Chains A and B, each alone.
Chain A
């Protein structure tokens, strides 16, 4: 019998789980302070949620885990959630909050087939969505919030790489391709294929050259964007997305956020319509997000702008350090016949805030407590110092440990 785990899936060991929780805790704590409410959507969704244009690219759809449910005789398929944002948009439309603006945070796994089976097929993310606002301040809120979470994890000096789906679309529109062709190239750029322009044999080779040049350039100021506007010279199409992008950049400048503008970095989802950003710690892409103003109306909701980000837990777990000091726990040992007494004192110790266990926990322990068979007393040993103290009652043990004393006959 095969005991291998599924390809592309991983176990999390106690040490890895500690790092996983550290990321989650930092994320929950920070987002809560910014007024984000935690939510969770189901692992199974109907496939149809993800198939309409403007949701997932066909390239991604061909890699989802979809199947017929036990009552799927209508032929409608279900899918293991391939994306976090679209289900949140569904939930927002399904049960709209009282206020138009909603701030949601969530920690979920997503499933996408990966051919080699070496990279993850199940991925965890900490994500946040800000629905109902499309100001520069909303964009900057998401960027600074995600940076604050990372900083809380000890990751400082994270670089923000910025792009803008609206500008890419406006540049592509200049090529006057068919609607389908423009969508295809946009999708390929988002799927991370930078060579797509080279493969293009258009009627306007000069324009493609300019486009490739613009996509290749990197800048660090709003002036850079103004220059691009002047280079391309397609004011009618570019003005609006450029003005939108510049407003965000200027606010980032004011706050002193470290960023780089790189239009070709706009890897992401088809539903992105405006600002796209990626977070890099060194060369590792640890998160990203973007604005998706068309998604909610596209899915049948009211005209509602929105944006969000996700932090990639698999990659963050490699980067953060959580070598916590060994837990100052108490290892309880008892002679045969004294198990009951062991359970009782362990309970009292835990109520007083100690970690009391019957076997060595992964983190080690600071004390041992031996219980005599005749229940006549306890021997408390400090592991580091080797100092032994004999105690007659649980209260004496607690006094020795310096904990908050819970009386033996405590009603709690």
Chain B
């Protein structure tokens, strides 16, 4: 972001308020008064430009290729290589015992689990490798934590391969070398005069498709990360801002845990319980990871559990305990200017027109639109800052809110409350059915329950 700001500064755009702590998403340029800019999560940008909501966009080549891997006919043109934001998408395995190379991985008779924030590129890799049996785990983050026990292969971005070695991963190929790119909607290029704006931005012509550089053999591994022992009860704890709450509950429950939260980004803290192993991953990813058996137990949000159950109604993930922190409401939100105060009113207002529903919770949003008969609706997946989508790029949001402050500040209003969510302890019902595992699950649940109710 800082480099994009510097690039626009050099282009003389005269933009105010574009920085890391930006609390507004809409920007104006003093040099180009007719230009309206908006800040999005990087992953949303190619989607928004291809959809024609924006003429131009700046984002990494990795997210452009992720879109094109699945939707090759997207209306998107790469205009300029901006020569910053350099990195590579690596495929990596555990430094201890992973496949030596992609060919060895493909030759194996066992299933290959691929975890990645780039599921489309991962799927197209699996097709290219002719993997006989594979699963793709789409992730919100923390891919580096998955091998060897929760995935055989990860696809993840890093600046250098050393950063992977430090995490106990061995890169086996570079899938893509990327930099920041200026992109345009292909229809905008045909119909609009963007010449001055495009010319103001430096950079070079995008290079022809070059194969990515090879991974260099650097020999030793900086760190050995052993997997969780198969017979252990596997517990997933959240990363991010939830960590202090969870630590507080664990402390109250008398469960010792070291290096959580971890200053070094250690994702495998030691827990003071016999036969229990812990890994730290994104709470959004936990329900799926518990459902597929990678974990027996996890601490996540009820919102993400509901999202998971909307996608997989018969999933074996079940809630064991309400942890009573992280309270939010999941709500339906429209712009203040929309003359509707309920889902029914909205459906009437948009009869015969398409309603664009933006949400991080795509399955909850899809279900909400379906049961409320919103007719011709489209769900737009977002990766954060969803408030910025209204009113130009979406008509309805399914969002979480604590106080409603952000919603009011963006001139939006709540028209429906879907449910309330707090953090919760979830388990796989198959693990509960196993006596040896269930005794440990019961023990942890009882300790946490006492701590929460104390």
Contact = CB atoms under 8 A, between A and B. Distances in A.
Interface of A: 1-2, 48, 51-53, 58, 61-62, 66, 68, 70-77, 115
A115 B73 CA distance: 7
Interface string B340-358: 0000000000011010000
29 contacts: A1-B352, A1-B375, A2-B354, A2-B376, A48-B133, A48-B134, A51-B130, A51-B132, A51-B134, A52-B130, A52-B131, A52-B132, A53-B130, A58-B128, A61-B127, A62-B72, A62-B124, A66-B123, A68-B311, A70-B314, A71-B312, A73-B288, A73-B308, A73-B315, A75-B113, A75-B135, A75-B136, A76-B135, A115-B72
A115 B75 CA distance: 12
Contacts of B136: 75, 77
Given A70-B314, A75-B113, A75-B137, A51 B131 contact: yes
A61 B312 CA distance: 25
A70 B312 contact: yes
A72 B316 CA distance: 11
B34 to A, nearest CB: 33
A168 to B, nearest CB: 19
Q: Is the interface of B mostly helix, strand, loop or mixed?
A: loop
Nearest to A53: B130
Contacts of B77: none
B137 to A, nearest CB: 6
Given A51-B134, A61-B127, 16 more contacts: A2-B376, A48-B134, A51-B131, A51-B132, A51-B133, A52-B130, A53-B130, A58-B127, A62-B127, A66-B123, A68-B312, A71-B314, A73-B288, A74-B291, A75-B288, A115-B72
B126 A73 contact: no
Interface residues of B, number: 31
B186 interface: no
Interface in B170-206: none
Contacts of A58: 127-128, 130
A66 B126 CA distance: 13
Closest 4 CB pairs of A and B: A75-B135, A73-B291, A61-B127, A53-B130
B313 interface: yes
Nearest to A66: B123
Contacts of B123: 66
Interface in B349-371: 351-352, 354
Contacts of B242: none
Contacts of B354: 2
B292 interface: yes
B284 to A, nearest CB: 14
Contact of A73 (B72, B128, B292): B292
Contacts of A73: 288, 291-292, 308, 312, 315-316
Contacts of A61: 127
B132 A48 contact: yes
Interface string B96-140: 000000000000000001000000000110111011111111000
Nearest to A59: B127
B312 A72 contact: yes
Interface in B237-292: 288, 291-292
A66 B376 CA distance: 23
Contact of A51 (B72, B127, B315): B127
